[in-house]
Amino acid sequence: MLRAPSAVEQDGPYTVVIGDETPFGDGQIVIRTLQTDNALLVVNAAKLVEDPLGGKVEIDRTNRHPVRDPQHLDYDEITKAVRNADQVWKQGRNRHYIKYINGRWVAVRARFAGHHYTVSTSHPIGQTKADVGDYIYRWNLQKNGKRVYGPPLNNL
């Protein structure tokens, strides 16, 4: 239940309400609504988690895209990767969160959506730092991006 709204904004046909589950400021949520002729529909509700840079990232458990394939991460792993990333790379409107979880390196990609970031996809990278280097190379992050959080690869 949304108890303390802190922002209301339009996102195309949707009204987005951002606020807290409690008046104490913990447990931020995002609710998207759509006004029809007859009703106000709640389209989805998602949690916001804070990344290491202090940015807000929406993790929408109704959006199956980031977890739809067996090799994708689950929602708890996505939350851990965003909240406690070992590295964060910025590339245009995207952030790449890189984290070592359960014996493997993983990546979560999120896109800036006006007020906050939204998770677009997740996947395992591999088991070694070389695999992380390959991911950085494949996404051209060294040239078209910038590491904005975490140590260089050789210090991970």
| Local confidence pLDDT in tens for the 156 residues of the chain | 566 677 787 878 878 777 766 655 555 767 777 888 888 777 777 778 899 999 989 887 666 555 556 677 888 899 999 999 999 999 999 999 999 998 999 999 999 987 789 898 898 999 999 999 999 999 999 999 999 999 999 898
Residue 35, Cα to own-chain centre: how many angstroms? 27
Angle value at C-alpha 124, between 80 and 105, nearest 5 degrees: 65
Instruction: Give SS3 for 126.
Output: strand
pTM equals 0.77
CA distance 80 to 137: 24
CA distance 148 to 29: 25
CA distance 110 to 80: 14
CA distance 27 to 22: 7
Pairing of strands 94-101, 87-91: antiparallel
